[in-house]
Amino acid sequence: MDLETLTVTSGEWLRGTGPDSDIVVSSRIRLARNLAQFPFPPQADDGTRMEIEQVLRRRVESLSCTGRLGYISVDSLDQLDRQFLVERQLISREHAETHGPRGVGIGSEENVSLMINEEDHLRIQVLRSGYSLDECWNDINRIDDALEEHVTYAFSEEFGYLTSCPTNCGTGIRASVMLHLPALVLTKEIQKVFQALQKISLAVRGLYGEGSQAMGDFYQISNQVTLGQSEDQIISKLKEVVPNIIAYERRVRKALVKENRQRLHDQVSRAFGILQSAQTITSEETMHLLSSVRMGINLGLVEGIEIPTVNELFIHTQPAHLQKLRHEMLESAERNVARAAYLRQRLARQEPHEN
């Protein structure tokens, strides 16, 4: 698989469609699996890890239910390419940073990734645009079944699928949705969401930038419990909660527009303006402004830009992506200049023609 072609494309899950995609950016499910006959990766030496990689790579490459998967040996990538795959959400940060033989199988649409020798022998991930947990589960369940025909998973009737960390054993499932909740953040209503989620033991991960709480407009909500509940029960629990949060965010957005349309319109227009004209810009500020613009599009306050473009810019303005696009290593200050240039180019204003 060629990383250079990935640079200029973008994953299917960024296309910004799918159910409730004004608020749900993406849905994701991952399964943790291990082979019965090997120690878990953190405890395996390089020779053993290589054996594990060989066994699983063969299985991953002969999967037929996914379409053709490209395989990348993560161990042989340089730092920048690993970071690139992390930004792309195709491998975890842990997978980028650990050592020894390991790799990832990636579907051509970037909807599927199978990490080998992460914390577990195998981490299967399915990612989709919008709110589509059931589709994710159907896909991943099929992949899991297909793999299991040829390998023996570590499994016990008592503890289910056995994983390196006891927080994952049982189903080994982590189901999550990435929500864009700018209005709840703006009005500080988000605290109530945290409290409610905590009571039913769902985890919230925010995406934060340095020095400003307003960056945290994206939240990933996922199950914490993996043992003692079936996959269906775990997914159902998310499905009970997520629509309420979506409705809550929509309600608050509507109220904001009603009570303060002018101020909101001003805020998102300025955000768009800065993105179109800045000469140097940090990734934090970019994320913050893109978040405003994204909400503005959904509320009909911004024109001339579409959700898929915004989603893509979130990914393509991150450090490794910028450097891959420019084919050069850049210092932080240089990246800020390159980022601004890239944004200006992608968001070029239709200037009135001069006479």
Partner 1 sequence: MRKCRRCTKPATLHITEIRDGEVQALHLCESCAQDYLSNVDVGETVDEEDVAFGTQADEDVDEVFEGADDLKCENCGITFKQFRSQGRLGCPNDYIVFRERLLPLLESIHGETQHVGKCPQHTPDASRKQYELIRLRNDLRSAVESESYEDAARLRDEIQALENQLGIESGEE
Q: 10 vs 283, which CB is nearer to partner 1? A: 283
Tokens of 114: 């199978």
Interacting positions 238-277 with partner 1 (CB under 8 A): none
Is 326 a residue that touches partner 1 (CB under 8 A)? no
Q: Does 156 bind partner 1 (CB under 8 A)?
A: yes
# binding residues, partner 1 (CB under 8 A): 70
User: Whole-angstrom Cα distance, residue 140 to residue 243?
Assistant: 23
Question: Running DSSP on this structure, what letter comes out for residue 351?
Answer: P
**Is 154 among the residues that bind partner 1 (CB under 8 A)?**
yes
Q: Which residues contact 286 (CB under 8 A, 6 or more apart)?
A: 275, 313, 317, 339, 343
State the minimum distance, in angstroms, from the CB of residue 169 to partner 1.
7
Contact 130, 38 (CB under 8 A): no
Among 2, 78, 210, 354, contact with partner 1 (rule: CB under 8 A):
210
Task: Among 134, 189, 284, 334, indicate the residue that binds partner 1 (CB under 8 A).
Answer: 284
- What is d(CA 213, CA 223) in angstroms, rounded to the nearest whole number? 24
Nearer to partner 1, 34 or 298 (CB): 34
Identify the helix (H) or strand (E) that includes residue 121: none
Structure token pair of residue 257: 């527009």
Stretch that binds partner 1, among 59-67, 102-110, 188-196, 270-278 (CB under 8 A): 188-196
Fill in the DSSP letter of residue 35.
Answer: B
Decide: is 45 part of the binding site for partner 1 (CB under 8 A). no
Question: Of 3, 196, 203, 341, which one interacts with partner 1 (CB under 8 A)?
Answer: 203
Strand pairing partners for 26? 129, 178
195 binds partner 1 (CB under 8 A): yes
Stretch that binds partner 1, among 6-14, 110-118, 138-146, 249-257 (CB under 8 A): 138-146
Residue 259 has, within 13 A of its CA and on its CB side, a CA count of: 8
CB nearer to partner 1: pick between 133 and 302? 133
| Binding map of partner 1 across residues 222-241, x = CB under 8 A, - = no contact | --xxxxxxxx----------
Of 3-32, binders to partner 1 (CB under 8 A) are none
Q: Which of 7, 19, 42, 273 binds partner 1 (CB under 8 A)?
A: 42
Report d(CA 275, CA 347) in Å as an integer. 8
- Give CA 260 to chain center in angstroms: 32
Residue 190 makes CB contacts below 8 A (sequence gap 6+) with: 181, 184, 216, 219
- Name 115's bridge partners: 104, 123
What secondary structure letter does DSSP report for 352?
A: P
Task: Categorise residue 152: left if φ over 0, alpha if ψ from -120 to 50, beta otherwise.
Answer: beta
By CB under 8 A, is residue 146 in contact with partner 1?
no
Phi/psi region, residue 300 (left: phi>0; alpha: psi -120 to 50; beta: rest), is left
Site for partner 1 in 55-114 (CB under 8 A): 83, 86, 93
The residues of the shown chain that bind partner 1, judged by CB under 8 A, are: 34, 36, 38-40, 42-43, 83, 86, 93, 119, 141, 144-145, 148-149, 152-167, 169-171, 173, 191, 194-195, 198, 201, 203-213, 216, 224-231, 282-284, 287, 318-320, 332, 335
